Amino acid sequence: MHVSSKVLALAVLGVLAVGVGIFFVLSTRESSLQEGQKVSEVADTTTALESCLEITGAQERVQCLLPVFYELAVTESAEVSLTKARELYEQKKVDECHIFAHEVGNANFEKFSPDVGAAFATCPMGCLEGCFHGVMEGYVDTKANLDDVTAEIPSLCGTLGTDTKLRIICVHGMGHGLLRHELSTLIETARRCETLPAPADQAACLTGVYMENMNNYLTVSETRLVKALPSICAPVKGTMEDYHLGLCLQAVGEGMMGYTRNDPTRAEALCGNFSGAEREFCLEGVDQIKNHPERQI
């Protein structure tokens, strides 16, 4: 199939620049804590952790665990919380740990707020660098003017990112945060990413946006996911340049791998619900994860 040069360029930039750290955010702080619940009201973390792990439903277990990791990050540290999440993943008690890393980052931003630099600097690597993404989401959530936030991305991430990888992780996290913001729509947010002067920053921001868009669907049942597939990238189809649809559908394919615990056969079957070029874009996303084992978490 023919893939536009700009889709390939942006996809390659995203892979090369971001490396292992950009995928599968499934939740926000608002969805992890019960309405009105404060961090201090969460039960003893050891007891809560054990109780959550007894839950048989995968989605319900994740929702139970999120405030536990939030609590650990606030009362102990991001390092302690993320280490526990990684242990559970390695013990195969949870399917992946990136979702929890985002929650750790959300907590770390609140812990150090308004000092986003301190929150970013104390995030540990691991779990696809989700802690850094969560910090940037928390930062964006505090802002009212998203055009101003977008304009400050180059300088902010240039300051926070002490090397190229961390800079791109920061920009990618800002993409997640921009779309998650209550004032955002998918098209508006993608257009904001395109205002960034550096192509690598545009790519990192766009991958964050389209991953966040897909992540909204990754905690539903497979039946509901299949029904929702046509709507995931519908806002950009026919209304934006073709490469946006390609990036959006590649994010869908990448998300399918996380959804199926990196089972390419199942992920490819889910992509089969698309047809033609859309199916091929989805399969390219599956291949991005399948061919890079370090991103299979």
pLDDT in tens, 110-135: 999 999 999 999 999 988 888 999 99
Buried b (16+ CB within 10 A) or exposed e, 164-174: ebbbbbbbbbb
CA–CA gap between residue 91 and residue 189 (Å, rounded): 38
Confidence band for 90, pLDDT divided at 50, 70 and 90: confident
CA–CA gap between residue 92 and residue 40 (Å, rounded): 29
* First and final C-alpha spacing in the chain: 29
Answer for the pair 262, 289: CB distance below 8 angstroms, yes or no. yes
More reliable by pLDDT, 76 or 12: 76
Q: How far is CA 130 from CA 1, 135, 137, in A?
A: 33, 9, 10
- Rg from Cα positions in the chain: 18
Contacts of 295 (CB under 8 A, 6+ apart): 20, 23, 128, 288, 289
Highest mean pLDDT among 55-59, 167-171, 213-217: 167-171
CA–CA gap between residue 113 and residue 136 (Å, rounded): 11
Q: Over range 197-220, report the average pLDDT.
A: 91
**Residue 224 lies in domain:** 5-295
More reliable by pLDDT, 132 or 18: 132
Q: Over range 60-79, report the average pLDDT.
A: 93
Contacts of 118 (CB under 8 A, 6+ apart): 112
> Does the bond joining 199 to the residue before it have cis omega, within 30 degrees of 0?
no
Q: What is the pLDDT of residue 128?
A: 81
Query: What is the percent of the chain where pLDDT is above 90?
Result: 63
Q: Over range 52-72, report the average pLDDT.
A: 89
CA–CA gap between residue 47 and residue 238 (Å, rounded): 51
Look at residue 14 and tell me whether its pLDDT is greater than 50.
no
More reliable by pLDDT, 162 or 21: 162
Look at residue 221 and tell me whether its pLDDT is greater than 50.
yes
Mean pLDDT of the chain: 84
Look at residue 7 and tell me whether its pLDDT is greater than 50.
no
Report the number of distinct structural domains present in the chain.
Answer: 1
Q: What is the pLDDT of residue 43?
A: 53
pLDDT in tens, 242-291: 999 999 999 999 999 988 888 999 999 999 999 999 999 999 999 999 99
Alpha-helical regions (H) of 97-152? 98-112, 116-121, 130-141, 146-151
Task: Extract the tokens encoding 166.
Answer: 């961390």
Task: Extract the tokens encoding 32.
Answer: 């992890």
Q: What is the pLDDT of residue 297?
A: 66
Answer for the pair 111, 138: CB distance below 8 angstroms, yes or no. no
More reliable by pLDDT, 47 or 270: 270
Alpha-helical regions (H) of 161-296? 164-180, 186-194, 199-215, 222-232, 242-259, 264-271, 276-290
Confidence band for 240, pLDDT divided at 50, 70 and 90: very high
